[in-house]
Structures are given as structure tokens and as C-alpha cells.
Structure 1
């Protein structure tokens, strides 16, 4: 995968939630580095429109509701249609924090854990956790079909390494992304898909303006926050730097950039004591994925 990780130049990136904040910061850096970008978001923000307008056809917007698998599939197909290939890089950046809708507000399905106006599920969980899982699976299928390596970046948070009583649901989704990333570590050596996780600290983004008093409640200030550009720079490094292997969890906050180490760290799959486990436990997955190698991208029909 050194050909991909040495540079973003000439690569295609798909970024969910790329219309503002961290996502937009990465979109701008990717364009500057010579990448082509599909921005998958709910709306074309003014800031994104200005960025795309100056990009000389390097970046395109596609309306995407990340809760809908069909929309994510369409975004990958859009890349194939516009840029002639499926993306090399997939950034699951779209996320929400403490939605404020109450029972008498619209849409009623949006809430945080404590308001709890939703029915059978939480939109926060669907956006923050389920969507990155879906995108990772679709990315794996697309990359195997194109017979090329790729990188998937999942955006978690430093709260995923800690806890938060007032934002328990958000915290849980970010913890889950870290566990999923660690579980996907073998995908790089086995299938050429590097799945990594970025954990930003408090970032100065429009997210903190979504509810009155939100930034005050969580003590957000210039003294503790970093910029979207700080996080985007760490994201680029996480993608292109060969020292970051699949399963890496990288923290970036006011203290700097640091790889998070865990007990029970995934070992090299070539270790002799893991060979039997690999052959026995991984075999059904590898058999399934083998059937996807070289299969042209077809979205929903790909699963039938």
C-alpha cells in the first residue's frame, strides 16, 4: 500500500460530512495535495460551495443522508461516474452531538439520550456509529472489486477514550468506533484495506452552535480547543504515513498527536501461534471476500 500512503496526489477521497468543520478542513487539504474528492453531505454549505468553486473540478458534492445505506452506495457510484473509479480513501466524518429536538419540535426523531423523544432507535447512533460501519463494508467491497488498496478513516473522539454523563449516548458511539477499528486491524494485511481511527479533542466547529448554551455546558473555549485544520492535518498523516498501520487509534488535542496503546494489542498475523487461529476463524470471512475481488461496483445489486 505504499503507493497510496506516500501521497494523496491523484487519489480519490470520499468524505461524509465534508461540508463544514473537520470534514471541510480535510477536503481543502486533499484538494491542495492533488486529490479528487466526493463530498457526501446533507447540504451544499456556502463554505463548501466556495471551496468546490475554486477546485477546478477536483471536488464534487453529492447529497447524502448517511443513515441510508443506499445514499452511501450512491456516493461511491457517483465517484465512479464523475472520476472514473471508486474512491481510494473513505472518511466517515459525519456526526452529531447532543441534538436538541423536543417532542413538540420537528423533526421529532432527533434527540439526545436525556431528551429521549425517539422511538425504536437513536439517530445519533445511526449517524455516529452505524454509518461508519456501513461505509467501511461498502469501501471494502468497492476496493476489492477494483483490485486496489485503500484507507478508511473513522472519526471518533477523545471522549471515546473516557466518559461523559451528560453526553452518554455520544460517548458510547465513539467508544464503539474504537472497538470496531481495533477489530478491523487484520483487514490491511489480509485484504489491503487499512482501517484507522482518529480521536480529536474539543474542536472549534459549528457543532457547538447547534444548541444554545451547548459550548458553555461543556466548557468549550479557545484555551482548550483545536482547529479543524489541526485535525485534518493529523488525518492526512494518518492516511499517508506508513508508520500508522491498520487498527491504529490516533488522538489529537491540545497536547499534540499520540497513538493510543491498548492491552492485548493485535499482533502480526504471521506469528506462528496465530496462524491456526487465522486459518480457522478468518476463513469464512476470507472466502466471502474472495468472491468480491474484481467484481465491478454495482451498489445494491452487488449484495444480491
Structure 2
């Protein structure tokens, strides 16, 4: 049987890691995939790519497109309600929505800039996780590929290597991602008895729209050089880590911050 017989939800799915994760679910046999983002055009392209993965084994992939802003509570509520109305449950939730913010020191930040980063990266992610947890607590455990005890659901947050270490001119972003790691560990403790897994992935620099362009490439070149692998990662490499954590081959992984950064944090 497929490693992913349940329902997948991916936020931030209009581009980058979110898009790669949604497409990877389809490629690995998940047939019920919900994608959420505030960029409607990007979601349409992600849906097209997901549907392009159909046909290899005759399966039909169903896609639910939910345009929404994770920084707004009513939008998050609508997202979960829409998915549950269609499929009755959410089994794998990968929370990818995030923003970087301007490269500034703390004394140079305006309050509005700081709040904008945290409304999405931390507060918005927490609202998504809260809504996902509430739904998962109502569900019966999903069957596994080999008969081992299953879980009611799995949540994977996208944090960052910069939640573990820091760099210059990124205080607000680094702090928001450190908060995601801490939230992951706390919720992993609190919801283990409910048979819900909560983990996070900490990517290094990845070839996404967030780091593309001449100015961004120049800004991040020194960080790329620090990593022993001396390159940026590909979104698909992060998606693979997310899918492992969502799969029933990772049923004993709880509260982990899986670093996927080409060795940046060990150098």
C-alpha cells in the first residue's frame, strides 16, 4: 500500500518548498492533497504540477485549492473546515508558509516590519498548527504500511537552520524560526498521548523565490560558502525530508528538528 493513504495539507504551496512538498505527495502516492496560499496564480500552477503526476499507476489525485492568508484566523479556520468538509480528516499537515523580511539590525526595524514577519512565521504557523491539532484529535488513527500502530495525524513545520544558529541582519527572522522549533518540541510533548506527531524541518539555503535575484544571491553567497557541500539545496530535497516525517516509516520520531542544510550548522 501507499505510504500516504490519507489526506495531506500543505500551506505556502504556491512556490518553493511548499510547492515541491505538495508535488512530492502526489508523486509518492497520496491521492488527496489540499494546497493553501494567498497567491492564487501560484496555487493554480502547483495544482497543474500535481495533476501532472497522475497516471503512472492509474490513480486519480484529487486537489483542493484553498486561497487564504495564514496570518488571519478566519482564513485558517476556513482552510481546515474546507478540507474536512471534503475529505473528513487531515492526516499530514506541512506548514511551509513563511516570509523573510528586510535585512536589518534590530535597531533599524520598524515595529510593523517585525510584526509582519511574526504574523506569518510564528503566529500564523501556530494558528495553523492549533487548527490542525484540533481536527486530528477527533480522528481515528490511520493505518500504516506494515501494520505497526498508527497515529491520528502528523504535523511538520518548516523552521530554518537560522532557528538554531544566527547570521547578521536577520534578528526577527531568526527569532521567529527559533520559536517554531520550540513550539514543535512543546506540542510534541503535549500531544504524544493523543497519538499525534509534531516535528519540524530546518532547511539551509534553498533555491526558492525568497533567495533568487542578483541582490539576494550576493547577500547569501557567504552563507553558501560556509556549508561543506558548498551549494544551495533544492526544494525537492526539503520536500523529501518532510515526506519522511509524515510517513509511517517515521512513527517513532517526535519533537525532532531535522536539519537539512548541506552541513551549514556543523561547520
Question: Same fold by TM-score, threshold 0.5 exceeded?
Answer: yes
Three-state SS of the structure 1 residue aligned to 2:259 is: strand
Determine if the alignment matches structure 1 residue 62 to structure 2 residue 58: no
Three-state SS of the structure 1 residue aligned to 2:168 is: coil
Q: Deviations along 1:107-130, whole A, 9 cap, x unmatched? A: xxxx99565344496111111011
Match of 2:189 among 161, 186, 189: 186
Match of 1:254 among 251, 255, 262: 262
Matches within 5 A, 1:23-172: 23-35=18-30, 36-44=32-40, 45=42, 47-54=45-52, 55=54, 56-82=60-86, 84-99=87-102, 116-119=109-112, 122-148=115-141, 149-172=152-175
Q: Is the 8 A contact 1:31 1:59 kept in 2?
A: no
Aligned to 1:231: 238
Displacement of 1:60 in angstroms is 2.1
| Distance in 1 between residues matched to 2:107 and 2:84, nearest whole Å | 42
RMSD over aligned Cα, in angstroms?
2.8
| Distance in 1 between residues matched to 2:231 and 2:21, nearest whole Å | 21
Displacement of 1:214 in angstroms is 2.1
TM-score normalised to the size of structure 1?
0.71
Displacement of 1:52 in angstroms is 4.2
| Distance in 2 between residues matched to 1:179 and 1:114, nearest whole Å | 25
Aligned to 1:104: none
| Distance in 2 between residues matched to 1:47 and 1:216, nearest whole Å | 29
More divergent stretch after superposition (228-237 vs 242-251)? 242-251
Three-state SS of the structure 1 residue aligned to 2:138 is: helix
Assess, with a 3 A threshold, how the Cα gap between structure 1 residues 218 and 7 changes in structure 2: closer, same or farther.
same
Determine if the alignment matches structure 1 residue 21 to structure 2 residue 16: yes
Structure 2: unaligned runs, 5 residues or longer: 55-59, 142-151
Three-state SS of the structure 1 residue aligned to 2:172 is: helix
| Distance in 2 between residues matched to 1:127 and 1:42, nearest whole Å | 12
Q: Deviations along 1:227-284, whole A, 9 cap, x unmatched? A: 00111011111222336522111111224999xxxxxxxxxxxxxxxxxxxxxxxxxx
| Distance in 1 between residues matched to 2:138 and 2:75, nearest whole Å | 19
Assess, with a 3 A threshold, how the Cα gap between structure 1 residues 34 and 246 changes in structure 2: closer, same or farther.
same
Assess, with a 3 A threshold, how the Cα gap between structure 1 residues 33 and 213 changes in structure 2: closer, same or farther.
same
Displacement of 1:143 in angstroms is 1.1
- Equivalenced residue count is 241
Assess, with a 3 A threshold, how the Cα gap between structure 1 residues 99 and 147 changes in structure 2: closer, same or farther.
farther
Assess, with a 3 A threshold, how the Cα gap between structure 1 residues 32 and 117 changes in structure 2: closer, same or farther.
same
| Distance in 1 between residues matched to 2:101 and 2:181, nearest whole Å | 20
Determine if the alignment matches structure 1 residue 242 to structure 2 residue 236: no
Three-state SS of the structure 2 residue aligned to 1:218 is: helix
TM-score normalised to the size of structure 2?
0.80
Three-state SS of the structure 2 residue aligned to 1:65 is: coil
Structure 1: unaligned runs, 5 residues or longer: 101-110, 259-304
Displacement of 1:213 in angstroms is 1.0
| Distance in 2 between residues matched to 1:157 and 1:118, nearest whole Å | 23
